[in-house]
Amino acid sequence: MIEGVLLKGYGGFYYVYAEDRVWECSLRGRFRIKDQDFLPGDRVRILPEGNNKARIEGAEPRLNSLTRPSIANVDQALLVFALTSPKPDLNLLDRLLIQVTCSEIEPLIIFTKLDKYLTEAPPDDSLAKSSIPDIYRRIGYTVFEVSNKTGIGITELRKCLEEKISVLAGPSGAGKSSLFNALSDGKQLKTGEISQKSQRGRHTTRHVELMVCAGGLVADTPGFSSLFLPKMKREDLATYFPEFDEHRNHCRFSSCLHDKEPDCAIKAAQENGEISGTRYDHYRIFLQEVIAAERRY
């Protein structure tokens, strides 16, 4: 019996990565009824039956699972945004950070198209003083600036993927698929049949799959442009803004929601530049959404 990770289910088979190979697996009888219970990322035990074929004999309990995309045991989410073309949608990034943190998955922020950004004239808006990646670095997030074209920053990022299950998420056109290709560097492990099938299906089907990439397993996903916040109480929203932590206890009211209350330390920190203006704006927008959603329950 060997242990592996389920990459995908396709055409009645399950493809499992174990011992540096992909195995085409069928299910043992008693599992067949629970077919839909398996997700990419599930840790399974397989019994080889020769010629890269095997049978799934058992599965380990999941540590976590995401619903969009449906993947189990995710270690980290790579939140991919272009520095330019399209301009990064920071409202969406801040939503994703909340969603990922809420699922207890580690976020990594990846800004792409650094090559293009560097050749453009610097924008003379207020953000130029503190670059967008720096806003997130200062908060304490792990941030990479890369070019999928020239390869700047790719080697450093690759190290973070080793032995981990990672998902790529972000808006359409941000460079997720290009990043996946840059990270795999032609070393993506393929078995003929699987790559043919997935190539045919890649842009048309919605099935999720993990792929061997940079010493780990990575799932590319289709881009999206809107995202609901997870269900939460209004007073919990601020906990998803780590940069508020050191100020939160200095508001006049202990119940302060940092919106329109007087003597709010968060607002003061935003005014003196310690907290980013866009982050505070998004906090207030999200607060209204959380309050509106509370009423519906």
Ligand X SMILES: Nc1nc2c(ncn2[C@@H]2O[C@H](COP(=O)(O)OP(=O)(O)OP(=O)(O)O)[C@@H](O)[C@H]2O)c(=O)[nH]1
Biggest CA-to-CA distance, the chain? 71
Residue 45 pairs with which residues in a beta bridge? 3, 58
Is 166 near ligand X (CB under 6 A)? no
178 binds, among ligand X, Zn ion, Mg ion, none (CB under 5 to 8 A by kind): ligand X
Block residue for tokens 């976590």 = 64
Known binding residue 102? Answer is: no
Torsion of CA 70, 72, 75, 78, to 10 degrees: -10
Q: Could you tell me the smallest distance in angstroms from the CB atom of residue 268 to Zn ion?
A: 9
Q: Could you tell me the smallest distance in angstroms from the CB atom of residue 81 to ligand X?
A: 9
What secondary structure letter does DSSP report for 259? S
Block residue for tokens 């619903």 = 67
Is 184 near Mg ion (CB under 5 A)? no
Across the beta sheet with 76-82, what order do the strands follow? 142-145, 106-112, 76-82, 165-169, 216-219, 211-213
- Within 75-94, the residues that bind Mg ion by CB under 5 A are none
Is 258 near Zn ion (CB under 5 A)? yes
Is 131 near Mg ion (CB under 5 A)? no
174 binds, among Mg ion, Zn ion, ligand X, none (CB under 5 to 8 A by kind): ligand X
Q: Considering the complex, state which of residue 227 and residue 268 has its C-beta at the smaller distance from ligand X.
A: 227
The DSSP annotation for 209-242 comes to: --EEETTEEEE-----S--PPPP--GGGGGGG-G
Q: Considering the complex, state which of residue 113 and residue 279 has its C-beta at the smaller distance from ligand X.
A: 113
Is 123 near ligand X (CB under 6 A)? no
Both tokens assigned to 266: 């968060």
Q: Considering the complex, state which of residue 16 and residue 287 has its C-beta at the smaller distance from Zn ion.
A: 287
Q: What angle do CA 33, 39, 40 make, to 5 degrees?
A: 140
- Cα–Cα distance for residue pair 209/220, rounded to 1 Å: 8
Q: Considering the complex, state which of residue 147 and residue 270 has its C-beta at the smaller distance from ligand X.
A: 147
Is 258 near ligand X (CB under 6 A)? no
Burial class (CB in 10 A: 0-12, 13-18, 19+), 118: middle
Distance of CA 221 to the CA centre of its chain: 9
Among 251, 269, 287, 290, binds Zn ion (CB under 5 A): 251
Q: Considering the complex, state which of residue 99 and residue 147 has its C-beta at the smaller distance from ligand X.
A: 147
215 binds, among Zn ion, ligand X, Mg ion, none (CB under 5 to 8 A by kind): none
Is 178 near ligand X (CB under 6 A)? yes
Which residues contact residue 20 at a Cβ distance below 8 angstroms, ignoring those fewer than 6 apart?
A: 189
Q: Mark residues 200-229: x for contact with ligand X by CB under 6 A, - for none.
A: ----------------------xx------
Binding residues for GTP: 112-115, 170-178
Which residues lie near Mg ion (CB under 5 A)? Answer: 176-177
Binding residues: 112-115, 170-178, 251, 256, 258, 264
Which residues lie near Zn ion (CB under 5 A)? Answer: 251, 256, 258, 264, 266
